[in-house]
């Protein structure tokens, strides 16, 4: 793929994000042959544009790491993207629905590493040994594509639908919990909408961080210490509506809530 096309495709999704407007997926007509490798090149250009605009990366995110998400989105492989500083929402704050296109939320388990992890060959145990803290989180996703309809290359090019992150403040050491059997309930206005357990994420959320390290190693990059890492939705994503009060509870790992105006 030549440089002009990379830039044109990154502009295409970036403009939709800036203008909060739905677009047809890239593979619909613009460029049906987009491969995953090319999609990551488009994502890199999108990330470069955001950095150039003055935004900073807060941390990486994994996506499509649970069966529930694979089924809901009709795609079947873990992918990664980046959360930026302008996407962060403080716990207990309100977001405005008009700042998004068609936002959905996902309950996630977050990690912060105490030292960098470099693949290939990083294991779940390596991740747990390198983890400083785990914490509860909610990701706000907002695919720029119509009806959240995309193929895996489309969603990679769109920075894996990243639009918001609410990082909970209940920090725990990984050895204090059995993260795979931590239960999670997601409620809107007091009614449970979805539920699951940490094991929904690739068998153990730490395995998602290992996969991230191993995928990044193909580009000569590593997972850096000190940055919050989202490991992927434990359950299918749930649509937000103005007026919602969102609360996600995690067994032994606190809860996270925010409002939607």
Residue nearest to Mg ion (CB): 139
> Contact between 232 and ligand OOG (CB under 6 A)?
yes
Tokens at 239, concatenated: 């649509």
Question: Quick one: which H or E segment has residue 259?
Answer: strand 255-260
> Contact between 17 and ligand OOG (CB under 6 A)?
no
Q: Give phi and psi for 249, each to the nearest 5.
A: -110, 140
Instruction: Choose which of 87, 95, 155, 253 interacts with ligand OOG (CB under 6 A).
Output: 155
Tokens at 175, concatenated: 């050895």
Residue 232 CB, shortest distance to ligand OOG, in Å, is: 4
Tokens at 144, concatenated: 């720029």
> Contact between 148 and ligand OOG (CB under 6 A)?
yes
Q: How many CB atoms lie within 10 A of CB 219?
A: 9
User: Please, which residues bridge with residue 41 across strands?
Assistant: none
Burial class of residue 29, CB neighbours in 10 A (0-12, 13-18, 19+) = exposed
The number of residues in the chain equals: 261
Q: What is the DSSP letter of 114?
A: S
- Cα–Cα distance, 118 to 209 (Å, whole number): 11
Span from 3-11, 36-44, 171-179, 229-237 in contact with ligand OOG (CB under 6 A):
229-237
> Contact between 233 and Mg ion (CB under 5 A)?
yes
Per-residue CA distances from 87 to 134, 141, 202 (Å)? 20, 10, 26
> Contact between 69 and ligand OOG (CB under 6 A)?
yes
Q: Residue 244's binding partner, choosing from ligand OOG, Mg ion, none, with beta-carbon cut-off 5 to 8 A by kind?
A: none
> Contact between 158 and Mg ion (CB under 5 A)?
no
Span from 16-24, 123-131, 140-148, 168-176 in contact with ligand OOG (CB under 6 A):
140-148
Residue 73 CB, shortest distance to ligand OOG, in Å, is: 5
> Contact between 164 and ligand OOG (CB under 6 A)?
no
Instruction: Choose which of 63, 107, 110, 198 interacts with ligand OOG (CB under 6 A).
Output: 63
> Contact between 140 and ligand OOG (CB under 6 A)?
no
> Contact between 161 and ligand OOG (CB under 6 A)?
yes
> Contact between 160 and ligand OOG (CB under 6 A)?
yes
For CA atoms 230, 235, 237, 242, the dihedral sign is negative
Tokens at 161, concatenated: 């639908």
Binding interface with ligand OOG (CB under 6 A) = 63-65, 69, 73, 106, 139, 141, 143, 148, 155, 160-161, 232-233, 237
């Amino acid at each position: 793929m030549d440089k002009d096309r990379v830039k044109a495709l990154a502009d295409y999704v970036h403009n939709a994000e800036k203008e909060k407007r739905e677009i047809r997926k890239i593979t619909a007509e613009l460029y049906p042959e987009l491969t995953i490798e090319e999609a990551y090149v488009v994502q890199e250009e999108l990330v470069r544009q955001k950095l150039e605009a003055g935004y900073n990366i807060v941390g990486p995110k994994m996506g499509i790491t649970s069966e529930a998400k694979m089924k809901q989105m009709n795609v079947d492989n873990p992918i990664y993207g980046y959360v930026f500083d302008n996407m962060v929402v403080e716990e207990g704050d309100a977001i405005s629905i008009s700042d998004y296109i068609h936002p959905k939320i996902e309950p996630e388990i977050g990690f912060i590493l105490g030292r960098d992890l470099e693949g290939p060959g990083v294991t779940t145990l390596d991740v747990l040994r390198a983890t400083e803290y785990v914490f509860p989180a909610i990701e706000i996703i907002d695919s720029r594509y119509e009806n959240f309809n995309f193929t895996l290359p489309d969603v990679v090019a769109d920075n894996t639908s990243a639009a918001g992150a609410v990082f909970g403040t209940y920090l725990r050491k990984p050895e204090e919990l059995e993260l795979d059997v931590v239960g999670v309930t997601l409620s809107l206005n007091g009614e449970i909408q979805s539920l699951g357990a940490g094991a929904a994420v690739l068998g153990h959320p730490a395995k998602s961080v290992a996969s991230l390290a191993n995928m990044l190693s193909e580009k000569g990059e590593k997972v850096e210490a000190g940055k919050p890492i989202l490991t992927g939705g434990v359950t299918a994503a749930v649509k937000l509506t103005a007026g919602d009060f969102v609360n996600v509870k995690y067994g032994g790992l606190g809860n996270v809530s925010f409002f939607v105006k």
